[in-house]
Amino acid sequence: MLSNYSYHGCLRQLQTGPDPEALTKLQHVDFSGDSLNSWKCEDDPAEKEWQQVVSQAKPSSNGLVLQGFFTDIRPLDNLKKSTALYWAPLSVSAEEDERFPLDCTRYPLVEITYRGLTRHARLACQWSYPGGAHLVHLETTGDWRTAALMIPLRGFPGEITRFTLRVYASTRSEESVEIARVRFRELLPEEQQTLDFYFAVSPDMSAPRKYPLLDEHLPFGVSMDADTVSRLANMMDINYFDYWRLAFEDIARHHHDCVIVERMEVMTDENRSILVDLAENFGLRLIPTFRWPLEQFEEKGDEWIRTYIEPHATSRGIFAWNIHDNPEEHYFKSYLSARDKIAAVDTRHPVVFHSRQADTFPLYAPHFAAAGFSHFKPGDALSVKDSLRTHLPLMGGQQLWITAPAFVRASGAPEWSTSPQLRMMLNMTLANGARGWMAHCYHNTPVWLNGHYQRSLTGPFLTFSDLWAELGTRIERLSVMAPLFLYARPMSENNPFGIKVAVRKSVKSPLAQDEDALSIFWLEGPDYYLCHLINNDAGHVTSVDLSFPDSLPDNMEIYDTTALVRIRAWAQAPRRQHLEMSPGQGQLYLIAKAPVCLHWREVFARRILTADQRQTKVDLELARQYELDVAEIETTLRARDEEMSLEELHSARAAKDALFNLIYATPAIYETRELLVKASSIIRGCDEAICSLHGQENIKKARKLGPKVVPYARTLTELRLRLRRGYGDEIKQEAEDLVQKSLELLHTIWHNLAT
């Protein structure tokens, strides 16, 4: 069979196919004919979209036809043609073939011979390994093609446990691809030579620079989209920067300190500068994310750096730069060149690498001070542990970040996390060596206005969600303890101090008999140890009896670090404890010599005061708009240079509470604000109910009812801004009217949902 032969990824510079005679002499694992017919129409059970597609594989004269029936997938009507979300899978694993797991050191290259049988069929392949996966989209035409792809990057992964072919569709149709052969083989000499040249990096370009900022700051962030901000601000009829102010205030209130700003290149130079200053004013740092066409970097890179990077090189409103999200393998040298050119003009802020699923992480991560990947498996929060343990050794820099799911696509996937699932994922992330946490995403365009998401942390109208409240609570505590995690690394030793633990699993626990209800992780810092307990049950309480040794080496002491954050108490933890751990809960103990523990108490106290100051800043500005006397509160919260006592920490909390009480003793503020909170929850409910209509394929009803919510969302946003400007009394009646009218609309939507 004649086919066009094409190399992909790091081998794509090979312009001609290999000598057919030379290929016959290579060791290989071949799937064709009957062996290909043994593959199954299955994929990763943690992913949802493929399970909505009817798939079948039929033998053909050339091999096998993989067919997907997409005609009933109505969300495809609203997706861009370039968006690939739904697929029909065909996979092989150890269950189907004894040659799996496949040794990638022996067979590092895969060849796929195929052709498209229908107009909109798009073929992709994904290989999975313990803790990760790599997805590659292939060009699909009606002609026979053989695609050659390198599986391991720098020798990773050493083996794969599953290999999957996927037929994607972007229209509601039946799509088919014919597969003649899948072959895993060893490399030809010219291929090995090309790889050696490709991966060769000069010593001065190899190791990442060290950035003091990354040793001082563990980011807790959310992602926003600059283009989405523009569209939502227009939809709500507010000033572009009023939208950013409301969002930044909300993010700061939820104790986050970083914002990923996607597609920041759509903003003007002036607007970018205003945004960076605005972020700094709220105590936030931005991670601007661009879509630089890296194939043009050699020609235009200097201009891009002058335009986007240099103006903010010394800004405290920047945390890092991301110049191209999820770069492919063939951009490797360009990305390294960009890293070094940016470092020449900005020595404070690193260039980061971020990938989806960890795809090209093994190639890029050794060369970047900060690197990360997405882990969008909310129903399997425990899997983040395996993913981090797999990829952390590949890091060459200072911080590995995890991006967690806080969204639902128009397809209905991934499933919306429960609060305990997200709590467990956050705890697992920090306990297993990650040093950055990002939640995707903060907001979204309504799905009933052709948006790609049904849900996000605040939805289309800057409201709220259960996950946003959960993140605010957890990160309030964890951000105070962040330096402890920054300087500690996971230990290989399971129980260095010989603690004894007895665990009682709930009788209703969904965990299997052989699954542990409690994870215990040990981390080691320069002069301290951390013991991190996590309840593995995301649905039930786990009972734990914990026993520390009566005496520890060097008279070390033990402290429950969360106690200082929660109740502002600092006392040694009892050596015998009984814990009733809520679903997904984490418990962190500090073990160190007395002077070290005292040092960390001071660090925590200082960070608690800083957090209190940051939290009260917005409310102080609000109080001044209503001419409230806050002078004494400001004095109490003012930073001190000397060590802080616990009494002073309690005074700071009392001042914060006094401000809260002062505001709630002012009817012009609290009565109107309560009405706006109620209206916000109703409007959020309207959006979620319309999304449910949309998900039930009542798309016409959803598009008819959706625009009726927009005027109420506009009014809500306008009233929120006017409340902050001191007009609480004047807008109270409008707020009451908004609650009543939006509630009537919600009942109408519920009626349509029921019928």
Residue type at 403 in one-letter notation = T
Position 2 confidence tier, pLDDT thresholds 50, 70, 90 = low
Position 160 confidence tier, pLDDT thresholds 50, 70, 90 = very high
At the topology level, CATH places domain 4-199 in Jelly Rolls (2.60.120)
pLDDT tens, 290-331?
999 999 999 999 999 999 999 999 999 999 999 998 899 999
Ordered DSSP codes for 242-292: HHHHHHHHHHHHTT--EEEEETGGGS-HHHHHHHHHHHHHTT-EEEEE-B-
405 - beta bridge partners?
440
559 - beta bridge partners?
572, 590
pLDDT tens, 444-453?
999 888 888 9
What's the pLDDT at 294? 93
> Out of 3.30.565.10, 3.20.20.80, 3.40.50.300, 2.70.150.10, which CATH number does the structure's domain 218-486 have?
3.20.20.80
- Residue 754 or residue 519, greater confidence: 519
**Between β-strands 258-262 and 220-225, what pairing exists: parallel, antiparallel or unpaired?**
parallel
Residue type at 108 in one-letter notation = P
542 - beta bridge partners?
581
pLDDT tens, 178-205?
999 999 999 999 999 999 988 887 666 6
What's the pLDDT at 370? 98
Q: What percent of the chain has pLDDT over 70?
A: 98
Q: Judge contact between 86 and 55, C-beta under 8 A.
A: no
Q: Is 210 exposed, middle or buried (0-12, 13-18, 19+ CB in 10 A)?
A: exposed
What's the pLDDT at 699? 79
Q: Does the pTM exceed 0.75?
A: yes
What's the pLDDT at 310? 97
What is the separation, in whole angstroms, between the first and last Cα of the chain? 56
Reduced to 3 states, what is the DSSP secondary structure of residue 390? helix
Neighbours of 66 (CB within 10 A): 28
What residues contact 743, with CB distance under 8 A and at least 6 apart?
682
What's the pLDDT at 564? 81
What's the pLDDT at 642? 58
What's the pLDDT at 446? 94
Neighbours of 639 (CB within 10 A): 9
> Cα angle vertex 610, ends 609, 616, to 5°?
85
Neighbours of 86 (CB within 10 A): 26
What's the pLDDT at 641? 52
102 - beta bridge partners?
160
pLDDT tens, 509-541?
999 888 999 999 999 999 999 999 999 999 999
The stretch 375-404 carries a mean pLDDT of: 94
Average pLDDT of every residue of the chain: 93
Task: Report the distance separating Cα 663 and Cα 296, nearest Å.
Answer: 55
What residues contact 274, with CB distance under 8 A and at least 6 apart?
241
Reduced to 3 states, what is the DSSP secondary structure of residue 748? helix
The stretch 70-93 carries a mean pLDDT of: 85
Position 643 confidence tier, pLDDT thresholds 50, 70, 90 = low
Tokens of 324: 């191209």
Whether 4-199 and 218-486 share one fold: the answer is: no
- Residue 214 or residue 47, greater confidence: 214
Task: Report the distance separating Cα 412 and Cα 569, nearest Å.
Answer: 44
134 - beta bridge partners?
127
The stretch 106-135 carries a mean pLDDT of: 96
pLDDT tens, 399-429?
999 999 999 998 888 999 999 999 999 999 9
Task: Report the distance separating Cα 355 and Cα 304, nearest Å.
Answer: 22
Residue type at 44 in one-letter notation = D
What's the pLDDT at 65? 97
What residues contact 553, with CB distance under 8 A and at least 6 apart?
none
What's the pLDDT at 668? 95
Domain-wise residue ranges, the chain: 4-199, 218-486, 490-592, 599-625+629-664, 667-754
Task: Report the distance separating Cα 150 and Cα 185, nearest Å.
Answer: 10
Task: Report the distance separating Cα 106 and Cα 311, nearest Å.
Answer: 50
Q: Judge contact between 116 and 142, C-beta under 8 A.
A: yes
What's the pLDDT at 85? 87
Q: What percent helix, strand, coil does the chain show, rounded to 5? A: 45, 25, 35
- Residue 565 or residue 86, greater confidence: 86
pLDDT tens, 681-732?
999 999 999 998 887 777 788 889 999 999 999 999 999 999 999 999 999 9
Q: What percent of the chain has pLDDT over 90?
A: 80
Task: Report the distance separating Cα 486 and Cα 399, nearest Å.
Answer: 9
Position 94 confidence tier, pLDDT thresholds 50, 70, 90 = confident
Phi then psi for residue 513, to 5 deg, are -60, -35
Task: Report the distance separating Cα 80 and Cα 73, nearest Å.
Answer: 14
For 238, 686, 702, 752, the CA distances from 713, given in Å and listed in that order, are 11, 10, 16, 20
> Cα angle vertex 159, ends 156, 161, to 5°?
125
Reduced to 3 states, what is the DSSP secondary structure of residue 17? coil
The stretch 60-80 carries a mean pLDDT of: 88
CATH class entry, domain 490-592: mainly beta
